[in-house]
Amino acid sequence: MNLNDAQKTSVVEWITQGMKLSEIQRRINSEFGIVMTYIEVRFLVDDLKLTPKDPEPPKPVELAGRQSGGDSTIAGPAPLKGEADKGMSEANRGVPPGGGVSVKVASVARPGALVSGSVTFSDGNSAEWHLDQMGRLGLSPKQPGYKPSPADLEAFQIELQDALQKLGF
Residue 60 confidence (pLDDT): 66
The predicted model scores a pTM of 0.43
Structural domain count of the chain: 2
Per-residue pLDDT of 9-29, as tens digits, reads 998 998 888 888 889 999 999
- Residue 166: which pLDDT band, with cuts at 50, 70 and 90? confident
Instruction: Look at residue 57 and tell me if it is in a domain.
Output: no
Same domain membership, residue 82 and residue 128: yes
Would residue 121 count as lying in a domain? yes
Same domain, 34 and 110: no
- 90 and 156: one domain? yes
Is the residue at 53 inside a domain? no
Range of the domain at 35: 5-47
Domain-located, residue 93: yes
| % of residues, the chain, pLDDT over 70 | 72
Go through 78-105 and write b for each residue having 16 or more CB atoms within 10 A of its CB, e for each that does not: ebeeeeeeeeeebeebebbeebbbbbbb
Q: Specify whether 79 is located in the same domain as 152.
A: yes
Q: Is residue 69 part of a domain?
A: no
Residue 77 has pLDDT above 50, yes or no: no
Cα separation of 40 and 29, whole Å? 12
